[in-house]
């Protein structure tokens, strides 16, 4: 089947076309307006989605060499996300589905992040354990099948991406800070400063303590040396990045061991992090895992991951009626 998929959960407007499980196009418009504010402004994100959605869908169809008449279904991200942003994608998808008499597929954004692993070869085998690390979530997901997933652990406060972004903000770096820290960390010494690795019960994560720790540490240093952060930027970035990676790997290793799973992957925006990718590979070699990392363009928000999820839902006839409302929060379904 040929399906058009739309992703608009946060600040990226994206459309993709998939045909029989093959991605034909994946167009993304990233909103830059939020950089000035140091974070996503929901109201502005909604307006930018409205401006972008028609040209982005047209481009996705054009790049795929398809027209609206070639489509067999329309998919959209239903949750979780910013409600105003989600409404733009879902409203557009529903209008198109009604106009063309097409079935509608609703996709869970976090499930789509995991299924990004099934866009290209090599694809994981089941059971597959995925650590999804993004701007709003940190989840350990056990997958028994493409659509049979269970969140076995998650963060009780900040997400890993949020930890990167908030650390960057404290260091006076631009938003989003994750990729900036990644780049600067490559030049720094990760053992120069030591921050505590928070270990929560079971498979839970917590990153709010690290945030406070960094804040108090730099404040104290700045009392003696006002330009402490600027003078030690690369080492600070490398040390914070290493702490976040150690925290993430701790529970991933525990879950893999407890559950006896050796097919292991990372997904979500933070899986673009070079340090985390390297840690996964090294640990994987040590513990006999087969590791998976999605291609760079499928780590951060994109409609291709929504399209691959829609592909599996289409095969099972999992459609939703017109009038299906997006929600800011929702469990996997
Ligand atoms: P969610 O998926 O939870 O709704 P989101 O869609 O906003 O959140 P993503 O687009 O998946 O999140 O990821 C964005 C996050 O990834 C940001 O916090 C960003 O800083 C982080 N990130 C992106 N690239 C890197 C990198 N190279 N190193 C570390 N963090 C990164
Ligand atoms: Fe996301």
Spell out the per-residue pLDDT of the chain, length 333, in tens: 999 999 999 999 999 999 999 999 999 998 888 888 888 889 999 999 999 999 999 999 999 999 999 999 999 999 999 999 999 999 999 999 999 999 999 999 999 999 999 999 999 999 999 999 999 999 999 999 999 999 999 999 999 999 999 999 999 999 999 999 999 999 999 999 999 999 999 999 999 999 999 999 999 999 999 999 999 999 999 999 999 999 999 999 999 999 999 999 999 999 999 999 999 999 999 999 999 999 999 999 999 999 999 999 999 999 999 999 999 999 886
C-alpha dihedral sign at 256, 125, 286, 162: negative
Are the beta carbons of 206 and 155 closer than 8 angstroms? yes
Contacts of 164 (CB under 8 A, 6+ apart): 176, 177, 178, 181, 240, 241, 244, 270, 273
Q: Nearest residue CA, atom 4 of ligand 1?
A: 136
Mutate to test the pocket of ligand 1, among 117, 134, 326 (most ligand atoms within 8 A of CB): 134
Q: Please state the length of the chain.
A: 333
Ligand 1 mean position to 100 CA, how many Å?
Answer: 35
The pLDDT, as a whole number, for residue 309 is: 98
User: How far apart are alpha carbons 269 and 266 in whole angstroms?
Assistant: 10
- Predicted confidence at residue 333, as pLDDT, reads 64
Work out the widest C-alpha separation in the chain, in whole angstroms.
68
User: What pLDDT sits at residue 77?
Assistant: 98
Q: So what's the ipTM on this one?
A: 0.98
Residues flanking ligand 1, CB < 6 Å:
9-10, 81, 109, 113, 134-137, 161, 164-165, 176-179, 182, 268-270, 272-273, 300-301
Nearest C-alpha neighbor of 98 from the set 333, 303, 304, 324: 324
Run of H or E residues at 238: helix 233-259
């Amino acid at each position: 089947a040929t399906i058009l998929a739309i992703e608009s959960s946060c600040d990226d407007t994206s459309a993709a076309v998939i045909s029989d499980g093959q991605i034909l196009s994946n167009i993304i418009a990233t909103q830059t307006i939020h950089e000035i504010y140091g974070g996503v402004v929901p109201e502005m994100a909604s307006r930018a989605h409205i401006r972008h959605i028609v040209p982005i869908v047209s481009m996705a169809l054009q790049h795929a060499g398809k027209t609206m008449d070639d489509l067999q279904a329309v998919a959209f991200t239903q949750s979780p996300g910013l409600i105003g942003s989600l409404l733009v994608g879902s409203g557009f998808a529903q209008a198109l589905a009604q106009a063309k008499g097409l079935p509608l597929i609703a996709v869970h954004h976090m499930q789509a992040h995991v299924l990004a692993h099934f866009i290209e070869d090599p694809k994981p085998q089941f059971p597959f354990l995925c650590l999804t690390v993004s701007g709003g979530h940190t989840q350990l997901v056990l997958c028994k099948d493409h659509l049979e997933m269970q969140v076995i652990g998650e963060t009780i406060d900040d997400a890993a991406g949020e930890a990167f972004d908030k650390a960057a903000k404290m260091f006076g770096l631009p938003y989003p800070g994750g990729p900036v820290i990644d780049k600067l960390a490559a030049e720094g010494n990760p053992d120069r400063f030591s921050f505590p690795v928070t270990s929560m019960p079971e498979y839970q994560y917590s990153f709010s303590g690290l945030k406070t720790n960094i804040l108090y540490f730099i404040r104290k240093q700045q009392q003696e040396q006002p330009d402490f952060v600027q003078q030690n930027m690369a080492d600070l970035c490398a040390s914070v990045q290493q702490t976040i990676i150690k925290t993430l790997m701790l529970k991933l290793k525990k879950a893999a061991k407890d559950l006896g799973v050796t097919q292991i992957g990372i997904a979500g925006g933070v899986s673009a992090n070079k340090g985390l990718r390297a840690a996964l590979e090294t640990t994987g070699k040590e513990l006999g895992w087969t590791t998976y990392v999605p291609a760079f363009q499928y780590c951060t928000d994109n409609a291709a991951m929504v399209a691959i999820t829609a592909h599996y839902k289409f095969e099972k006839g999992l459609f939703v009626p017109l009038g299906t409302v997006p929600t800011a929060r929702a469990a996997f379904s």
